[in-house]
Each structure stands twice: as structure tokens, then as C-alpha cells.
Amino acid sequence: MDDQNRKQVKIVLAGAGGYGAHYAADLLNRRQENVQLAAVADPIARRSPVWQQISQIPCYDDLETCLEQVKADAVIVSSPIQYHKQQVATALEHGAQVLCEKPLCATLEQGKKVVSLSEQTGLHVAVGFQWSFHPVILAAKKDVINGLYGKPETFRTIVHWPRSLAYYQRNNWAGRLRDSAGLPVYDSVINNATAHYLHNMLFFLGQSPDEAAMPDQIEGRLWRGQPIENYDTAFVKMKKDLPDQKPVELLMIASHSGEQERLPQIEMRFSQGRLYMEGAKLIGERYAESASGVSEIINYGLTQGGEDVARKTDALIRAVLYNEKPVCHARTACPHLAVIDWLQKHCFIEQIPQSRISVKEEQGSKWYYMPGLDQLIDQLADTFQLPDGFS
């Protein structure tokens, strides 16, 4: 940011360990003259990997007390999911612009309250789906909105990301339906590690740069192979009705109970082309007009990189300085939340039979996996089908 005359931006960080440590490090390491990490709210901040760096900064056990003591222009909420709604509301009540980590909240009802609080106060709530702040994604979305690829037809995202028991034991809320105080959490494979990819498909279907599409139909199968409360494998089919065309079909399959880690497979097909990931690169292909013609290939560039956190923080700072609306805000994040909420309410979580689960020891932890699941996922992805159950 290059504006020399701007005011001081005082930021409070709720949740300084886990992913929040990246926000603390970004704010401290970039040393932007007018930006200050003014305080931290975290009941166990001492366990943060950046504790040495933040130990001189005022630290509070809870956000409410913190904001009564420290006048903040902006609050970053990077705490466990069950606290997002209350902490975003607290920040807005104290007049702060907000960046909340994904998912927006634990339930759709909470998410809707945040949307209305944001609209009532006139303060922004950015939501930390980093791809939605990425110039590569935004350039491709602009081309989609401008009709470069024609009408959307089928979108598909497949994520094979095995996770160990250590992943679920890293805190006291991973894989939980509710926490020990009874607060809804609904942490799952598509609400946490692969949430970005589900949101991304809905974001690309949005009719304007800051909109994501709400599916009109949802169908799902949820499986559990890990020793957790919620599901670790999700098969989700969605449909979106659009005027003057067949409904767009979307398929999201993501699992932490497969055997082999692979890069996410992402393909969005349109009437006149497609977008797909080739490794970490986003590629567009516009079909030739005649069968003998050559397709045009557009390389949008790499979607990975170290600037994800900085881009989100900068969007928050621009909200403070210029009242700029973040490209991914509370309303943009609601379709993702709606899908998660619908699945939790309407789908039975099926236990993968113990006879189908194997366990291996690697990297000092146990890995539960279902042999053959990777192949089953690939077959279903090819045919756009949901699986049968185990009984």
C-alpha cells in the first residue's frame, strides 16, 4: 500500500496460533508504516509458534475484553469455527471492519445473522477464502462473467487428501459436531481443509465479481472412516438453475480417508470452453468454432504462492482506509455455508465398516484409510454419480 497520508490502522487478531500465526507474522514482518498489530485475543496465545514475536503486544483471553480496552479499526477472526459468529458480532459492535477466516460460521442461521449485522452497521466482513482474493482466480472469473467461455454446464472438483490422526488431534474441535460446551462446530473435510474448493465452484457461478451462487438442489453422501464425530469423506452433487439453459451440474468429492495424496482435480466446463487446473496453474481453453479449428489456450498462471495471507490482510486494510468492499464478504460465503448446513441436516453419516478400514503408522501418527476408496472416487467422478451405501 503506498498512500503516505493515510491514518493508522490498528488491527486486533483473535486466534494467534494455528493459521492465525500467519496473520501475526504477516503483520509484523511486512512492517507497513501505518498498520499496527495492536492486540491479540487468545486464551492460550503462549502456545502460538509466534509467541516470541507477539509477547510484547497486549494479549487478552477474550475478544470482548480486548476490544473494551483497545480501540481497533479492524479485527481478524482466526479462532475455532464455533466462535466465529460471536466474535464477528463483537467486532462489528465495536465499530471494527472484520476479516473472518473460513468458514464464515458454524451454521447458516449464524451466517445470515452476520450478513444482517454487517449490513446494519455498514461495516464489512471479509471471509478468508484466499482463492477469491487471488488475481488469477479473479481474472478467470471476469472472463467467465464476460461470456468468454459461453454458458456454464458442469463443474467438478475432486480432492484426495489423506489426513492422519495427528491432524484430528491438533486441537479439541477438529472433526467435532459440537464442542465440549455444546456450541455447534461442524468441522468436516469440506468445511475446513477443502472448503476453498467447494466455495470456488460456487464463486465461479456467481453473476458478479463478489457473488457466489446458491445451489437450487443438493444431494450428498457422507462417510466416516476416521475415529471422529463428523464425516471425513463427502460426495456432493448440486444443481443450479439459470435462465434459458439446462441447470448447471456440480460435483464435489473430497476425502481424508483415501490412501494417496493427489493435487485437486478441478474442471469447469462451459458451452464454448473449459477452465481446469494443471498442477497449480489455472488454464482456460476456448473451443474452436469449427471442428478443424484450433482451440485457444489461456494460461491464467499459478494459484499457489506465499501471498495469500497478505492479500486478505490488505483487503481488510482497504476496508478501513477506503471503505472498500472485500471481493469475498459474508454474503459471498453464504452459499458454501448453505451447502454444509444442508448436508449436516439432511444426510446420515455412514460409518465405513471397520473391515474396510486399514491403519498404517507414518510420520509418528496413525493413518486410517479405506483401500480402494481412491479408485471408487475416480469412477464416480468420471460418471458424475454418488456411491451406494455399505448396507
Ligand X SMILES: NC(=O)c1ccc[n+]([C@@H]2O[C@H](COP(=O)([O-])OP(=O)(O)OC[C@H]3O[C@@H](n4cnc5c(N)ncnc54)[C@H](O)[C@@H]3O)[C@@H](O)[C@H]2O)c1
Site residues (vs ligand X, CB under 6 A): 14-20, 41-44, 48, 63, 78-81, 83, 101-102, 128, 130, 170-171, 192
Residue closer to ligand X by CB (options 24, 321) is 24
Residue closer to ligand X by CB (options 130, 257) is 130
SS3 for 242-262 is CCCCCCEEEEEEEECCCCCCC
CA distance 85 to 125: 11
Strand order in the sheet with 273-278: 296-302, 281-286, 273-278, 265-270, 152-160, 248-255, 233-240, 217-224, 349-351
Beta bridge partners of 254: 159, 234
Cα 178 versus chain centre, distance: 20
Residue closer to ligand X by CB (options 44, 288) is 44
State in angstroms the smallest separation of the CB of 187 from ligand X.
8
State in angstroms the smallest separation of the CB of 63 from ligand X.
6
Q: Which residue is nearest to ligand X (CB)?
A: 18
Residue closer to ligand X by CB (options 130, 230) is 130
Place of cell 484426495: 160
Residue 347's Cβ-count burial label (10 Å; 0-12, 13-18, 19+) is middle
State in angstroms the smallest separation of the CB of 243 from ligand X.
34
Residues listed for the chain: 391
State in angstroms the smallest separation of the CB of 157 from ligand X.
16
State in angstroms the smallest separation of the CB of 290 from ligand X.
43
User: Residue 20 has what DSSP assignment?
Assistant: H
User: Residue 208 has what DSSP assignment?
Assistant: S
State in angstroms the smallest separation of the CB of 238 from ligand X.
21
CA distance 330 to 138: 18
State in angstroms the smallest separation of the CB of 218 from ligand X.
21
Residue closer to ligand X by CB (options 60, 235) is 60
Residue closer to ligand X by CB (options 172, 379) is 172
Residue closer to ligand X by CB (options 8, 171) is 171
Report the candidate in 196, 77, 78, 215 with the shortest Cα–Cα distance to residue 137.
Answer: 196
